[in-house]
Amino acid sequence: TTLVDDDVIREIDDLAELAPVHNHPHALALRACKKVITPGTPQVVVFDTAFHQTMP
């Protein structure tokens, strides 16, 4: 679990080549949420990459 800030969103975008179907759209959604959610409201992301890593 990671608290979202501008650096986290930028990093998600920077790693888009590793998960092109997911990363860029998620970064766009996080930016959109920041515009409409009350300032100061924490956003968090939960990455499940390790869970799926061992699945065939």
Cα–Cα–Cα angle for 11, 50, 30, rounded to 5 degrees: 35
CB 37 within 8 A of CB 43: yes
Active site amino acids: 48
Can you give the pLDDT at residue 32? 96
The structural domains of the chain, with segments of one domain joined by +, span 2-53
Cα–Cα nearest to 6, from 36, 30, 39: 30
Q: Is the pLDDT reported for residue 49 higher than 80? A: no
pTM for the full model? 0.77
Can you give the pLDDT at residue 50? 72
* Phi-psi sector, 32: left (phi>0), alpha (psi -120 to 50), beta: alpha
Can you give the pLDDT at residue 56? 72
Torsion of CA 13, 14, 19, 22, to 10 degrees: 0
